[in-house]
Structure formats: structure tokens, C-alpha cells
Amino acid sequence: MDDGANPIAPAEGGPLRIEATTGITGYRLRRAQLAVFQRFLAVFDSVTLRPAEYSVLVLIADNPGRKQTEIAEVLGIKRANFVTLVHGLENRDLVERLPLASDRRANALHLTQTGAAFLARIRLMHEGMEEDVVRRLGGPDARDQLFALLDRLT
Amino acid sequence: MDDGANPIAPAEGGPLRIEATTGITGYRLRRAQLAVFQRFLAVFDSVTLRPAEYSVLVLIADNPGRKQTEIAEVLGIKRANFVTLVHGLENRDLVERLPLASDRRANALHLTQTGAAFLARIRLMHEGMEEDVVRRLGGPDARDQLFALLDRLT
């Protein structure tokens, strides 16, 4: 601080110096991710669905009967958070857990009939959103380029 | 569900079908952002600093005496979350709030001497981490390309 003698800060204005902050890759990724998630939340507001819940429904639909732990691992969601998320989907009658034949201590995840119908409907909403994202990026090639760059970080 | 007659799920194995999930731009952004943040947390574990706290310290250092609300807005952090974050930094004697000369109801943010010395040290740690990120991406051009694509989403 260069105004140590004066405990009152001077009045300031004008744009902030943000170059150092916007040069942080993690910061840029976070802002872009939040922007896309906020658009998702706006689109899916009427059905009260969060992005992580959508990913879980899609993954269960494509892999019925797989272990809860497998689904959580693929998505990189911590066990405790995943259990809470699945409970929420169970309470809405979208997902059900059944004991696994090969390991009765493990739970296999399935969509319910309600869940399958719900997902069919919201997948259409999501496709519209994803098309908008690709359009903003500059087309499918730009999207592929983005995915390739992101893959180098994961 | 195609095993409605049998409440026990069949044993399954092998890799999961993840194409539909990995085609979601928000999902890919989130995974990359989490990977970078996790590396940040590992590097900054010894100084107990989170990515958002680092951004705040950098922005205050580059803009001493600016209003709390301005800093929060630039970073896109919600007011309540930002107040909590700044309190944490104040309790560690890294940041101080002073009344603004032009508007005494507003708080101006400054780094303390301790905060300035702390930031100088962790900036070096962060530079090392950022260089690693750029190397993974494939160099500065790839980083610029990534930033340009991310900007189209925000």
C-alpha cells in the first residue's frame, strides 16, 4: 500500500486493470464454464434440472444397470455428492437403484419409465442449447478444436 | 428399462458408453476446469489458497483502493460469496477494507503489507503452474486459441 499515512482510500474510477487475472487459464475456463452452465440453468429452469443431473441421466440411459460407483467415477463426481444427487433423482421418480445380481451390496442404476420419458423430452431442449453453443463457437470444427484443447488439460 | 420382469439387474462389465455425455460442451468445460483447479489446489496446498482467492488477490494488487462491489463484479462472484471470501482473506491479514473517501458506505480493498509479500511469493508458484498448463496445451499459440474460443462463450 502506498497510502499508508492516510486510512481513507482515494476516490478512483475507470476500468479496472484485469490483464493479470484474465491471463490465468483456470480463470478463463471457469468463466466460460459458468457462462454455459448459467445458460443451461436458464433453459432448464422450467424442469428444475442442474447440468450434473442431466449428465447422470444421459449416462444411465446409455448404460442401464451399471454400478453407481462406475457412473460416479466416469463423471468424476465424489461419492458423497453423487449419492445425494442420485437420491434427488430417485425422489423425483426419475432413477431407481436395484441390487446387482453379481454383487448384492452394489447398486445398479436404471431410469424409471418416468425418467426415460422425461429424458426424451429434455434431450430435445438440450440439443437446441448445444446447437446454440456450437453456433457461438463458430461451427462444429471450432467445437472439435475446443474439445481437443480441453482434452490436453484433463 | 428392458428388464422390467426381473428386479435384479444383470451383471455387466466393460467400458461405459460415454459418447453422448462427452458431446456436451458444458461437461467438457467443467472437466477441464476441474482438472486445472485440482492441479492448482495441489500446488497451493501448502499455503491453503483456493483459485478464486488467488484471482481476488491479483485483482486487488493491480487495482488498490477499488470498491468491493467492483472487484466482485469483474470476477463474476456473487455478493454474498464475495463477502465471505474477503472476510477469510481479512482474517489472514492479507486484505484490508477501508472506507472510500467518495462514498463512506462503500469499502475499498487493499492488500496489507503481509498480503503483498504473500502474493509476491505465490505469484512465482502460479507462474510455474501456468507454464505447465501452456506446455500441456501445446504452447502460447494454442493457449491464445483456447482463450479466443472460450471468449465466444462468455
- Judged against a pLDDT cut of 70, whether residue B124 lies above it is answered with yes
Residues of B in contact with A138 (CB under 8 A): 149, 152
Give dist(CA B40, CA A26) in Å, integer. 8
Give dist(CA B101, CA B113) in Å, integer. 21
> Span A24-36, mean pLDDT?
96
pLDDT in tens, A62-83: 999 999 999 999 999 999 999 9
Give dist(CA B60, CA A16) in Å, integer. 10
Say yes or no for a CB contact (<8 Å) between A21 and B55.
yes
Which of residues 11 through 30 in chain B touch A, CB cutoff 8 A?
11-12, 16-21, 23-30
Q: What are phi and psi of A51, to 5 degrees?
A: -55, -45
Q: Which residue has the higher pLDDT, B29 or B1?
A: B29
Distance set, CA B45 to CA A99, A123, B51, B68 (Å): 39, 40, 11, 26
Cβ atoms A68, A80 nearer than 8 A: no
pLDDT for the residue B105: 81
Cβ atoms A30, B85 nearer than 8 A: no
pLDDT in tens, A87-146: 999 999 999 999 887 787 888 999 999 999 999 999 999 999 999 999 999 999 999 999
What's the predicted TM-score (pTM) here? 0.87
**HEC string for B94-141:** CEEEEEECCCCCCEEEEECHHHHHHHHHHHHHHHHHHHHHHHHHCCHH
Rounded to the nearest angstrom, the minimum Cα separation between B91 and chain A is: 18
Which distant-in-sequence residues (6+ apart) come within 8 Å of A28 by Cβ? Answer: A22, B146, B147, B150
- Judged against a pLDDT cut of 80, whether residue A2 lies above it is answered with no
> HSE of B58 in the Cβ direction (CA atoms, 13 Å)?
23
Query: Residues of chain A with pLDDT > 70: what percent?
Result: 92
pLDDT in tens, B2-37: 433 344 444 457 899 999 999 999 999 999 999 999
Long-range contacts of B67-76 (CB under 8 A, 24+ apart): B67/B100, B67/B103, B67/B106, B67/B107, B67/B108, B67/B109, B68/B97, B68/B106, B68/B107, B68/B108, B68/B109, B69/B106, B70/A16, B71/A16, B71/B109, B74/A16, B74/A18, B74/A21, B75/A21, B76/A31, B76/A34
Q: Touching check for A81 and chain B: CB below 8 Å?
A: no
- Judged against a pLDDT cut of 80, whether residue A10 lies above it is answered with no
Cβ atoms B50, A61 nearer than 8 A: no
Rounded to the nearest angstrom, the minimum Cα separation between B71 and chain A is: 8
Stretch among A17-31, B38-52, B101-115, B127-141 having the lowest mean pLDDT: B101-115
Amino acid identity for residue A116 in this structure: A
Stretch among B53-62, B95-104, B114-123 having the lowest mean pLDDT: B95-104
Of the candidates A5, A89, A28, the residue with the CA atom closest to the CA atom of residue B145: A28
Say yes or no for a CB contact (<8 Å) between B101 and A2.
no
Q: How many CB atoms lie within 10 A of CB B80?
A: 9
Task: Please give the DSSP secondary-structure letter assigned to residue A9.
Answer: B
> Span B73-89, mean pLDDT?
94
Whether the complex's predicted ipTM is more than 0.90 is answered with no
